């Protein structure tokens, strides 16, 4: 196989995975034109990958609308992957108890390969449902979970600081590098992070770190709610509750530390 053929094969696999991820991220069914626009490629190229993914059972096509959604093979694969993540079983009781105690949505994320991804969300008790879709990859600079990842990884922080300009999502998004660094260092020192209306207006998060047996950051546990429930100065009981729940999960993963 030539180098060019090899590179082409890699690009083809990347596009197939991009298509699969875009279908998974869609709120409902999605069409070829939308996918091509999102991926900045041709409809013909997208269609070829869609056809293969449907044939393999990873996607399903609605015969009435010709639009696409996830197929049974994707579900089975996801279930198999989830069953192998110790973090899920280690966090189930702590997440349930935290939700029952405070009534807010609880979001569990895992840090792997330099990416922070939502594993599961336990929706709060309020009539307004606030959560984050499992599989969502979180930005590092504009949410509480990402700031914790940066606080415990000099490599990730350096990549962000020296990378492209930080994207602004709301008027409250931190886009100044110096201020982000200050907040990241503060998050590490106090053991939790806050993000107040930084990604979506009216929505706030309070997160604590989850550590594994090697004392490295494994993931994050976050409370997500409105500004009414998580103000700029969060209630001390909320801070203590989320930190203790995260520590409980950490202990289940073999972490030997204590609440600082």
CATH number of residue 52's parent domain: 1.10.10.10
Residue 258 lies in a domain: no
The torsion defined by the Cα of 247, 249, 250 and 256, in degrees rounded to 10, comes to 80
Same-domain status, 73 and 129: no
Question: What CATH number corresponds to the domain at position 202?
Answer: 3.30.450.40
Local structure of residue 221 (DSSP, 8 states):
E
Measure CA 232 to chain center.
Answer: 22
Mean pLDDT score, 123-138: 81
In this structure, the answer to whether residues 207 and 90 fall within a common structural domain is yes
Last residue of a domain, one of 40, 62, 78: 78
* Bridging pattern class, strands 68-70 and 105-112: unpaired
- Using pLDDT thresholds of 50, 70 and 90, give the confidence band for residue 135: confident
Identify whether the C-beta of residue 226 lies closer than 8 Å to the C-beta of residue 192.
no
Q: What is the pLDDT of residues 7-61, one digit of tens each?
A: 556 888 999 999 998 998 888 899 999 999 999 999 999 999 999 999 999 999 9
Our count of domains for the chain comes to: 2
Average pLDDT, the chain: 89
Task: Tell whether 175 and 113 lie within a shared domain.
Answer: yes
Instruction: Tell whether the model's pLDDT for residue 251 goes beyond 60.
Output: yes
């Amino acid at each position: 196989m030539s180098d060019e053929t090899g590179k082409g094969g890699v690009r083809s696999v990347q596009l197939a995975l991009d298509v699969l991820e875009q279908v998974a991220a869609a709120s409902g069914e999605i069409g070829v034109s939308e996918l091509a626009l999102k991926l900045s490629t041709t409809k013909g190229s997208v269609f070829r990958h869609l056809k293969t993914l449907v044939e393999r059972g990873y996607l399903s096509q609605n015969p009435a609308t010709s639009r696409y959604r996830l197929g049974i093979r994707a579900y089975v694969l996801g279930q198999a992957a989830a069953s192998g993540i110790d973090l899920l079983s280690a966090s189930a009781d702590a997440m349930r108890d935290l939700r029952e105690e405070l009534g807010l949505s609880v979001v569990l994320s895992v840090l792997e390969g330099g990416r922070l991804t939502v594993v599961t969300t336990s929706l709060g008790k309020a009539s307004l449902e606030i959560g984050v879709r499992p599989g969502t990859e979180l930005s590092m600079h504009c949410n509480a979970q990402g700031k914790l990842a940066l606080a415990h990884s000099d490599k990730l922080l350096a990549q962000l600081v020296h990378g492209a300009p930080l994207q602004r999502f709301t008027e409250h998004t931190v886009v100044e590098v110096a201020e982000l660094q200050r907040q990241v260092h503060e998050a590490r020192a106090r053991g939790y992070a806050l993000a107040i209306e930084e990604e979506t207006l009216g929505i706030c998060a309070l997160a604590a770190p989850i550590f594994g047996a090697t004392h490295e950051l494994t993931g994050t546990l976050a409370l997500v709610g409105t500004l009414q429930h998580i103000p700029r100065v969060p209630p001390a009981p909320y801070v203590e509750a989320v930190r203790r729940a995260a520590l409980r999960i950490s202990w289940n993963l073999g972490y030997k530390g204590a609440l600082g």
